[in-house]
Amino acid sequence: MLVYLIGFMGAGKTTLGRALAQQLGWHFIDLDGEVEQHSKCTVSDMFAKFGEPSFRMVEQQVLHNVVLQFQNAASKIKNGIIACGGGAPCYNQNLTFMKATGFVIYLEVSPEILCQRLLTTPSPIRPLLPTNDPQQLLLYIRELLAQRTPYYEAAHWRC
């Protein structure tokens, strides 16, 4: 069984995914980490050098490859938690693919908490963060979250 964790950057997908996988004895995969391994380039560098559309195509390819590994009859690993990048379910029919191959959980977090987390725990793999100014960042989060929420809310479950 595959469980996909989706939600905005800073929602806790990787943190919760690792803890949940350890608790269940399942395999954990961070999709952004897999993209970086596959491309031998950081997510931020991919965005800067090739742009978001190219990154999203690689992300989709890696997502499909990861799922194929779990579905392979010879694979000993059958259960996994996949922490997806914040935009992953919003592009290239990825959400439809995730829902067809596993259980999708949306980690719903308020814009204010997301802003606080993103300001206090910076990450090198967040190329879409435009600013460190709290007011501007909160506006940005609200705008991007408004675009992504329809995808997120289409998950099997929200928490």
pLDDT tens sequence across 25-47? 999 999 999 999 999 999 888 98
Judge whether 148 and 90 are in contact, CB under 8 Å.
yes
Does domain 2-158 fall under CATH 3.40.50.300? My reply is: yes
pLDDT-derived band of residue 73, with 50, 70 and 90 as boundaries?
low
Q: Which of 12-16, 80-84, 100-104, 115-119 is least confident? A: 115-119
Mean pLDDT of 81-95: 97
- pLDDT value of position 71: 84
Judge whether 46 and 54 are in contact, CB under 8 Å.
yes
Judge whether 80 and 93 are in contact, CB under 8 Å.
no
pLDDT-derived band of residue 159, with 50, 70 and 90 as boundaries?
very high
- What whole-number percentage of the chain has pLDDT above 70? 94
Kindly report the CA angle at 25 between 23 and 8, in degrees rounded to 5?
60
The domain locations on the chain are 2-158
DSSP lists the bridge partners of residue 4 as: 82, 104
- What whole-number percentage of the chain has pLDDT above 90? 79
Judge whether 90 and 144 are in contact, CB under 8 Å.
no
